Structure 1
Amino acid sequence: MAATPIKVVEGSALSAMQKKELLNRLARVEGQLRGVQKLIGLAAEPKDCEAVAQQMAAARKALDRAFVQLISSSIVNQSENAQDLDEAQASAGRLAALLDKFA
């Protein structure tokens, strides 16, 4: 079954290239999670749980890296697009709040 391409819209949150890179990273995470599901289904011995745990940790780290990429791309893009210092500071405040809330 082929994946339906995700529509990428133009906007000021992220550039088209930033979105493409983030979507590619998330597609890799999705593949890792499918692999974890298969490993769980095939787990028959205690040592299999170690392999599952290792792959889950790798997927979690990859998702964390995607989060960092999202925030850092947002910082760069929104700073470049700010009209003045006040707008840049407001944007930085919103992004700092996101880090505080979700990181």
Structure 2
Amino acid sequence: MADTPPLKILQGNALSEQQKKDLLHRLARVEGQLRGVQKLIAKATEPADCDGIAQQMSAARKALDRSFVNLLTSSMVTHAEKASSTEDAVARAKHLSTFLDKYV
């Protein structure tokens, strides 16, 4: 499998460049874990192999959950830093609250 070129990180208000780099690094690790799980499944020959597969799937799921939490906390920090007034900060907090209700 050929290596994919790195993604171009765009400037914007959503996340800082460092926050994006950190999230992309975490997701690349999850992607590697999932490729490993696929290999384990392909090579499974004994019922006991399922234990190792389940363990690796659980680790990948937890890593993805940690990435999601990292996205949320980064978003909270960015939204708070970008607020221009108290009213703007309240509106941004309400947006994040809706975001949490929708995805958590």
Alignment of 1:49-88 (within 5 A): 49-88=50-89
Structure 1 runs (4+) greater than 4 angstroms displaced: none
Give, in whole Å, the separation in 2 of the partners of 1:96 and 1:42.
44
TM-score by length of 2: 0.95
Give, in whole Å, the separation in 1 of the partners of 2:98 and 2:53.
34
Give, in whole Å, the separation in 2 of the partners of 1:91 and 1:12.
13
What SS does the aligned partner of 2:45 have? coil
After superposition, give the CA deviation of every residue in 1:46-67 in whole Å (9 maximum; x if it has no partner): 1101111111010000000000
Which residue number corresponds to residue 33 of structure 1? 34
Report the Cα offset of residue 76 of structure 1: 0.3
Runs of at least 5 residues in structure 1 that lack an aligned partner in the other structure: none
TM-score by length of 1: 0.96
Runs of at least 5 residues in structure 2 that lack an aligned partner in the other structure: none
After superposition, give the CA deviation of every residue in 1:61-84 in whole Å (9 maximum; x if it has no partner): 000000000010000011001111
Query: What CA RMSD, in Å, does the superposition of the two structures yield over aligned residues?
Result: 0.8
Letter paired with 2:44: A
Which residue number corresponds to residue 24 of structure 1? 25
